[in-house]
Each structure stands twice: as C-alpha cells, then as structure tokens.
Chains A and B, each alone.
Chain A
C-alpha cells in the first residue's frame, strides 16, 4: 500500500464498459459512455426514491404505528407510485407574493443535484461504478454539502418567517454535524490509507477473523463499531431526519424551508431529501459495510449494495417513528459538546491503536 500516494491510475469502470459495448474509444467514448452511465445511475436512484417515497415510507411508518397504509391500487398498493407521480406533477404551482425569484426557482434544482452527484463515486457492485477518482471520499462529502446552500436559498428567498427559521436551523444543524461526520470518516481512512472508493472497499474484503469456518471480512463496522455508531448518528443529522429534524419540524415551524413550495418544486425537495438519505446510506455501506460485498458470486454485488442502503433507509424510518425530536439548542449542544469531542477521541484512539499494531 506504500505506493498509493503516487498512484495516479484512476478508472471509470462503467463508462469503459458502455464505451466498449458501443465500440467507441477516446474522448467520444468517454463523453458518450459517461452520459449513458450517468443516466443509468441517476435513473437507478430515481427508481429507488420512487419506491421509497410514496410507497415504502408509508408502509414502514404504518407498520410502526400499527396501521395498514396504501393497499388499494395495485398489488400491495404499489401502483400508488404511478398515481402519486401523476398527482404531484399535475398540481398547480403557486408562486407566493414577494419571493426572490431566481433563488426561489434554483433551490429545488440544487437539492437533487447535490445528492445525485454524490453517487458518481459510489461503487454499487456488479460493475456499476461511474467514476473512481483518487479523492473519491472527499468529493462525495463536498458535493453532499452543497445541499445546505439550496436549503438556505429556499429559506431566505421564500419571504416567509417559517422558511427563514427553517433555513437558519438547517445551517446550524449542518455545521454542527459535518465535522463529526468527516472526522469519523477520516478515522476509516487511517485504516485504508486511500481516499479512493474502490480501494476502501478492497481493503474491507480482507478477512478479519475466522470463527467456526466462517470468515468474517474486515468491514470497518466490525473493526471499529464505535466509529460506525458515530457516523450513523451524524449521518441522521446530516440528512435531517429524527431525532434531528428541527429544520422542518412540522409542529414548530410548519414545513421549515419548504413551507412555500408546491407542485413540482415540492416534489424536487422531497426527491432531494430522499436521494440524500440514500447517499448517506451508500456512504455508510461503502465506508463501514464493505460496499457491495456479500456472500455469493461477485455479480450479486448490486443486490447486496441495494440491501445495505435500504437497511440504512429502514433505520432512518425507524428513528423517525421511535425517537423524539431534540430542541435546536440541545442539537447544538449534542453536536459541539458531544459528537465533536467523541469523534476526535475516536480519531486519536484509532491513530494510536493502528500505530501500536502496525
């Protein structure tokens, strides 16, 4: 692993495959393959979100609260996805008085953009991996945090006090939990010695221990469970889900930054939030759960990856149903006086332990 720093070889596995299938090479192959690959990945995430938003979320929440939820249209109510898509698309767009127009229109574009961009570097298994730059991990965090910009724009441009409060709260929350999130990720990088996503996944494929003939891989959730729990909690705050959903707390400030949005703009906010949850899940899967690794042949990688991100989604929905919301001043306290200190303790301890072992 000593040569990793000098390694400049980066790959674009999915793009190469597509370009190879089309028989294109050079720049044309890169551009056409890139566009097709990007389209494929974006649509995979759109389908995931379409299943999660109108259907799975309702079903999961209903199970937690002992209800039945959607079951009228199609098998298990699955066709509600189509019905909801048409319903939401055909809603009237109401532009409130005095909104700051370009910013108000741009915010719903920025949100899904930032979340979708993160998936460029996520290895989804079965060769579905758009790009693999050396700085993959840092890139993923960088684009994911563009979302705060969209939230502030939405909050400030809406000309609504609730929106303004929601926007301010979302910034307070993001700055309180981004540092613990990234520092915890840095403690994983100490093990891997690389920011490249494929390398992070490859390191986790090595065996940790063998118990009764079953080899447990070196997933960082097993190697450093403390970091895993920290990352999971910080990620909940980062995607704005309970117990950290103060920016859009419906019982306090109506809908937060999205109060004044209707029709397709509201759908885009919703879409952005859900893709963000799945991006968080994808980062957790890649950093701590071995990425697309799992029993069975390598071609099943995508299935395992999907199961892992859905597991994280289920966890966020569980928290949504089971954990009460924290107040905004408590949130700052937990972030800066709790998580930050714990994440630095985790980083220093990991560094010392790795230093002693190696």
Chain B
C-alpha cells in the first residue's frame, strides 16, 4: 500500500491530538479575567513599548550561508545514495569521488572566505557595545 496514505493519516492524528487536548482543557479550565492579569510578563515591571520593533538580526550573514549549505546538503544526498553501489559496479574513484570533492572544496573555500571576512559570527551591535555598563576586563 502507498506509505504516504499512512503518513497523511498520522498527520491528521497529530493535528487531532493537540486540538483534542485543547478542547478537553477548554471544558475543564476556569476563566477569571482580572485587571492586570493579561499584561505581558517583563520580569514583573510594567511593560514598556511593544515587541513589534525593528531589531538587529545578529546572525543575518549566517542565515544567508545556511541557505547555501542547505541546498548543498540536498545535492549531496543523491550522491551518497548511489556512491557505494556505483563503486561496486566498477566505477573508478576519479569518476564518483573526485567531482564531489571538487564540489565540497568550492564550498569550503567559500566558507573560509566568509569566515575570514567575519561573516560567520554573532554580530555585536555597535550601539549596544557603546552603552555597555559592565566593567571591561
């Protein structure tokens, strides 16, 4: 039988279970709205400002690299599947291994370049650095 029918069935069940738990909880739980109860939690202080603000994604360059490497893994998987059987059927190493080594090599050169340019880092915001009050050691 088609395995994807079973997987789809599991999808239905695994959405149904959280929904069922929510429904049971909705029947059981009390609802006592009070003033101040629904305030967002900021360590007990009165919340200041909103969380919908412009922020510094400090791993932006890393996220771009991730896209490249993610596509790379997609391209590596088919090769890993055929690699061993191709060798067993008499293909030579230069035919099946060398192209992949070149492919990975190009990406490694790219990674080294990004690394040396400081892209693979948690970017520290200059503003936050200048406002830092803790003692520099």
Would you list the 6 A-B pairs with minimal beta carbon distance, nearest first? A34-B9, A329-B122, A131-B3, A116-B14, A264-B25, A38-B10
Cross-interface CB contact of A193 among B55, B82, B93, cutoff 8 Å: B82
B69 CB-CB contact with A under 8 Å: yes
Sample of 14 further A-B pairs with CB below 8 A, known A268-B21, A344-B104: A10-B2, A12-B3, A89-B25, A97-B40, A98-B40, A171-B63, A175-B66, A190-B83, A192-B84, A260-B40, A265-B22, A332-B59, A333-B120, A355-B97
Query: In the complex, which residues of chain B have a beta carbon less than 8 angstroms from the beta carbon of A344?
Result: 104, 108
Query: In the complex, which residues of chain A have a beta carbon less than 8 angstroms from the beta carbon of B104?
Result: 344, 347-348
Cross-interface CB contact of B12 among A35, A92, A138, A336, cutoff 8 Å: A35
A46 CB-CB contact with B under 8 Å: yes
- In chain A, positions 1-35 with a C-beta closer than 8 Å to chain B are 1-2, 4-5, 10-12, 14-16, 19, 27, 29-31, 33-35
Q: State the B residues within 8 Å of A (CB).
A: 1-15, 17-19, 21-22, 24-26, 28-32, 37-43, 50-52, 55, 57-59, 62-63, 65-66, 69-70, 73, 76-77, 80-85, 87-89, 93, 96-97, 100-101, 104, 108, 111, 115, 120-122, 124
B21 touches A354 (CB 8 A): no
Q: State the A residues within 8 Å of B (CB).
A: 1-2, 4-5, 10-12, 14-16, 19, 27, 29-31, 33-35, 37-39, 41-42, 46, 86, 89-98, 108-109, 112-113, 116-117, 119-121, 130-133, 138-139, 156, 158-164, 168, 171-172, 175-176, 178-179, 182-183, 186-187, 189-195, 254, 259-260, 263-265, 267-268, 271, 328-329, 332-333, 336-337, 340-341, 344, 347-348, 351-352, 354-355, 358
A113 touches B69 (CB 8 A): no
Query: In the complex, which residues of chain A have a beta carbon less than 8 angstroms from the beta carbon of B3?
Result: 10-12, 130-133
A133 touches B7 (CB 8 A): yes
Complex CA distance for A297 and B110, rounded to whole angstroms: 51
Complex CA distance for A298 and B85, rounded to whole angstroms: 29
Complex CA distance for A354 and B5, rounded to whole angstroms: 36
Query: In the complex, which residues of chain B have a beta carbon less than 8 angstroms from the beta carbon of A156?
Result: 51
Chain B binding surface SS class: helix
A-B contact count (CB 8 A): 254
